[in-house]
Amino acid sequence: MASSYIFPDIEEATEEGLLAIGGDLEPETLINAYSHGIFPWFSENDPIMWWSLSPRLILYPQEIHISKSLRRVINAKKFEVTFDTQFAQVIQHCATVQRDEENETWITKDMTEAYIKLHKLGLSHSVEVWQEGTLVGGLYGVSIGKAFFGESMFHKVSDASKVALVHLSQKLKEWSFHFIDAQMVTSHLVSMGAIEIPRKEFKTMLQRAMEFPTRQGAWS
């Protein structure tokens, strides 16, 4: 089913990146938005707000930076990593665990329900990081075409979210994904190789990535 909403071209976004207000969070609307470089971002009790930032932060899976200390952690097999086994838990942790550079969560109840719907359709995916049987880190995002749109990550143990990103990048590299859309700048992601590109360049890259079929279904 096609979305009943038509978004403006992302070039019409404000200087801050705000493109539109309103609509809904149904799967068709979210798929339409992500396919055109748009993502929802708003707080509880606010209207749904849609964004397209410039510059845009992206990470090429084949160019992720793994520090010597992180590589030692990975080689030590301190963590176990899975995909798509506990999506609801991961998004709930992302909503409740305080992250660096964020003062409050934007993952509302409606947002949580929306991404769980996408997950059931095989379009939203999670990476889970375990330590001795306990979920200690992870991330989730949306996959369309050859692009992965990262939404949020969390960690309860040092390096757990970084390990999740490394494993995601390795899988996406194997599948020849073009890029991970990290949306907005954080020092955490920049330290791992994410770079800023202009909106116009991102739009061109996205259009190319959308020409490929979506790897739909569980990644586990």
Confidence of residue 35 (pLDDT cuts 50, 70, 90): very high
Please tell me the predicted confidence (pLDDT) of residue 2: 67
Q: Note the pLDDT of residue 105.
A: 60
| 103 has a pLDDT exceeding 50 | no
Mean pLDDT of the chain: 94
**Check whether domain 10-51 has CATH 3.40.50.1370, yes or no:** no
Q: Does domain 56-209 have CATH number 3.40.50.300?
A: no
**DSSP per position, the chain:** ---S--PPPGGG--TT-EEEE-----HHHHHHHHHTT-EE---TTSPPEEE--SSEEEE-GGG----HHHHHHHHTT--EEEESSSHHHHHHHHHHS--TT-SS----HHHHHHHHHHHHTT-EEEEEEEETTEEEEEEEEEEETTEEEEEEEEESSTTHHHHHHHHHHHHHHHTT--EEEEES--HHHHTTT-EEE-HHHHHHHHHHHTTSPP--S---
**For residue 98, pLDDT beyond 70:** no
Is-same-fold flag (10-51; 56-209)? no
Express each pLDDT in 9-22 by its tens digit.
999 999 999 999 99
Each domain of the chain, given as residue ranges in start order, spans 10-51, 56-209
Q: Is the pLDDT of residue 100 over 90?
A: no
Q: Is the pLDDT of residue 61 over 70?
A: yes
pLDDT digit string, tens, across residues 147-161: 999 999 999 999 999
Instruction: Say yes or no to pLDDT of 183 above 60.
Output: yes
